[in-house]
Amino acid sequence: MLDIKKLIAVVCTMAGVIATQHATAAGDAAVTPLLEKSFNNLPGKEGLMILVEYPPGAVDPVHRHDAHGFIYVLEGSVVMGVKGGKEQTLTPGQTFYEGPEDIHTVGRNASATMPAKFLVFLVKEKKKPVLIPVK
């Protein structure tokens, strides 16, 4: 005879596992600051180097950096794009640039199964946030 309590427990457990796998697969990017340096010859400006790791399926929200951003793909494949520009799929060794006025409309892992990793170098105003959400 089927025990309804056991059936409910199994269904809930399976739903939790599936939800956890989906959250991990489409999770947020991991951002690791690597270097922050003031520029003596550029008062009020600083350089910031960060490592961004996208899990499979990761998608960034629309944002801007209010900085010059230089991106270099290390592993995997990423899709980048700014408002008014063409989306670009980048693979290891390829680069992307976004300026202080650009709105970063597309930033995502091109793969639903493989992670991606890229290096970002920003030249920005000191004490300004690295990322500014855009609605």
Model confidence over 105-126: pLDDT tens digits?
A: 999 999 999 999 999 999 999 9
Rounded to whole angstroms, the Cα distance separating 33 from 31 reads 7
Class of domain 28-133: mainly beta
- Give backbone dihedrals phi and psi of 99, rounded to 5 degrees, phi first: -95, 175
Q: Which of 20-24, 25-29, 65-69, 96-100 has the lowest mean pLDDT?
A: 20-24
Q: Is the pLDDT of residue 11 over 90?
A: no
Q: At CA 71, angle to CA 44 and CA 49, rounded to 5?
A: 45
What's the whole-model pTM score? 0.77
pLDDT confidence tier of residue 27, bands split at 50, 70 and 90: low
pLDDT at position 28, please? 87
Q: What is the number of other CB atoms lying within 10 angstroms of the CB of residue 81?
A: 19
Q: What is the percentage of the chain residues whose pLDDT exceeds 90?
A: 68
pLDDT at position 31, please? 93
Sign of CA dihedral 129, 84, 27, 114: negative
